[in-house]
Amino acid sequence: MIELALGGARSGKSRYAELQAIESGKQVIYIATAEAGDSEMQTRIDIHRQERPPEWKTVEEPIELAEIIKMHENSHSYLLVDCLTLWLSNILFDKKGRLQQAVFDKQTAELFAVLAGFSGQLIFVSNEVGSGIIAMDKMTRLFVDEAGFLHQKIAALSNKVVLITAGLPQVLK
C-alpha cells in the first residue's frame, strides 16, 4: 500500500502521515530527507526529532531514497517518507544550486522501479507547490514543474492520495 499525502506549508500533512503510521500498528520507519543548510532548518529538524515517538526508527537520507525504501520494505514495517519535495530539491540541484540532471534521472528512475514492485506499507509526505503563481526565475519554475511531474507519477503508483488543507484531509484517490 502506497499513499501520497500532499499539502501546502503548515497544512497538517506531516501530522496526518504520522497518525496514519501510528494507526497502522506496525513498526514505523521514519525516513527523513531534510538537510540542515542553515540554523533555522537545523532547528526545524531538531524539533521534528524530539516530537517523534522514541520507538520509531529514524533513517536520515537526503539522496538514496529508493535504496532506503528497498532496504526497509517488509510486512511488519510502516515507512513514512518526509518529505518528497525536500528529496527532489536534494537530487535536482547541488549545494550551489546547479542542476544535476544525471543524479535526478538516476534517483527518480530507481525510486519508480522500487515503487513498481513495492509490497509493504508506505506514505509519502510532499508539498503541493504548483497551486500558486508561476515563478519568475528559471530554477524555481523547473523545481515546480518537476515536483508536479513527480507527484503525478507517485499518485499513479499510489493506492491512496490525500490533499491536506488546514489540517483537513481530502481523499483524492
In angstroms, rounded to a whole number, what is the distance separating the alpha carbons of residues 139 and 125? 22
Query: Beta strands 160-165 and 2-7: pairing type?
Result: parallel
At 162, list the grid cell: 490525500
d(CA 72, CA 59): 10
Residue 48 known to be catalytic: yes
Q: What are phi and psi of 118, to 5 degrees?
A: -70, 135
Which cell numbers in the block locate residue 14?
506531516
The packing angle between helices 101-116 and 138-157, to 10°, is: 10
Catalytic residue among 48, 72, 76, 151: 48
Closest Cα to residue 4, out of 79, 62, 70?
Answer: 79
DSSP state of 135: P
Q: What residues are annotated to the active site? A: 48
